[in-house]
Amino acid sequence: MERRPRDRIQSASRIGALVLVLLWLLSDRLQSAIPFWLPFAILAAMEVEFVVRGIRERRAGVEGEPTHASRRLPGADDADLGWVEAVDVDGEPILVPAAPRPPRRSRVPLVLMTLVAVGLFVFAYRVDRDAGWSSVSATEQSRAEKRFTAEASRIAGRDVRAYCDDGYAFTGVGSDAAGVAFISRGISYLEPTICRSLYRIAYENDLGPRDDAAFAITVLSHEATHLRGIRNEAETECYALQEGVELGRRLGLDEKTARALMEAQRARDLSDASVARLDYRLPEECKNGGELDLRPDDPQFP
């Protein structure tokens, strides 16, 4: 019998949810963008719906009234629909219902499946806790914010403040921005994942994922450049890439690594053609010897 469209949709959805969970576990970028509980909540909701639907169908099969078609006596045409041929007491051939099949049992015990699900949830929780900004103590967070403030002030050329946006009031979930700067007030807010990456570099001597490190350095440099008074996003991004090399060095990276990170970030900026990043697209002048080159006498860029 052909599977019902609803069955196909539900099976595809369950597979999609499983794939999402696996990708989330293997991708640092997804872990930064998606809270640990969301993939598991989706998967759990689908499993609950699957179980509830099975219970309802089973009850309907046991308690439901037989349909009009099932009231008639079986005939020869019904032999392939669950009836078997037998002989009555008078020796006449008749069709009788076939013995019900024993219920299929899952090959994987429910307890084992539950343990695996709980184990994955605990693992995801620990990854989220250990990798997130909340894993850093309040004392260390304050210390790091002072360091980020000093670096932002150095780039801005004036006294400014850099805060980690713990409650996502201005960044991330609220605005889909990794950083926000208020030029007139001299204040910038950084997404917690950005602060965590910067803390990892400056205080744990751990570069972490290179893409995350490059992006975090660029975001701090970008918002600090805004606080210098530059509003144009494309120009700000170009200056931020150049300032990011020295910023990376001051945070503890060697010059080769810091420059390689900014070169990789520049390549990503140039290849990003999304509409959402249109204002950040690097202009033609953002090149060695161009009008936006902060160090025209230096042959290296950024």
pLDDT tens per residue, range 133-192: 989 999 999 999 999 999 999 999 999 999 999 988 999 765 678 999 999 999 999 999
- 114 vs 294, more confident: 294
CA dihedral 104, 1, 63, 85 (to 10 degrees): -80
Is 200 within 8 Å of 212 (Cβ atoms)? no
Is 292 within 8 Å of 286 (Cβ atoms)? yes
Q: What is the pLDDT of residue 274?
A: 77
Tell whether 118 and 207 lie within a shared domain.
no
**72 belongs to a structural domain:** no
Six-digit token pair at 170?
């201005």
**19 belongs to a structural domain:** yes
Mean pLDDT of 42-59: 73
- 110 vs 154, more confident: 154
Q: What is the pLDDT of residue 60?
A: 63
Say which residue the tokens 């980020």 belong to: 148
Tell whether 156 and 126 lie within a shared domain.
no
Tell whether 123 and 170 lie within a shared domain.
no
Tell whether 163 and 201 lie within a shared domain.
yes
Six-digit token pair at 220?
């701090």
Question: How many Å apart are CA 239 and CA 280, to the nearest integer?
Answer: 12
Number of alpha helices (DSSP H) and beta strands (DSSP E) in the chain: 10, 5
Averaging pLDDT over each range in 14-18, 99-103, 239-243, which range is the top one? 239-243
Q: What is the pLDDT of residue 231?
A: 95
Give the SS3 label for residue 85: strand
Question: How many Å apart are CA 192 and CA 291, to the nearest integer?
Answer: 34
Residue 70: pLDDT band (50, 70, 90) is: very low
Tell whether 18 and 145 lie within a shared domain.
no
Six-digit token pair at 189?
């807010």
- 26 vs 139, more confident: 139
Residue 29: pLDDT band (50, 70, 90) is: low
Question: How many Å apart are CA 25 and CA 31, to the nearest integer?
Answer: 7
- Domain encompassing residue 174: 136-280
Is 171 within 8 Å of 189 (Cβ atoms)? yes
- 48 vs 276, more confident: 48
Q: What is the pLDDT of residues 225-266, one digit of tens each?
A: 999 999 999 999 999 999 999 999 999 999 999 999 999 999
- Average pLDDT of every residue of the chain: 81
Pick from 266, 259, 185, 261: nearest CA to 226: 185
**94 belongs to a structural domain:** no
Residue 214: pLDDT band (50, 70, 90) is: very high
Number of structural domains in the chain: 2
State the helix-helix crossing angle for 255-271 and 210-226, rounded to 10 degrees.
80
Tell whether 119 and 175 lie within a shared domain.
no
102 φ/ψ angles, rounded to the nearest 5 degrees? -65, 145
Residue 21, H or E segment: helix 5-26
Q: How are beta strands 93-97 and 83-87 bridged, if at all?
A: antiparallel
Six-digit token pair at 178?
């990794």
Long-range contacts of 284-290 (CB under 8 A, 24+ apart): 285/238, 286/234, 286/237, 286/238, 286/241
**102 belongs to a structural domain:** no
* DSSP bridge partners of 162: 188
Mean pLDDT of 122-140: 74
73-77, 101-105, 202-206: which has the minimum mean pLDDT?
A: 73-77
Residue 2: pLDDT band (50, 70, 90) is: very low
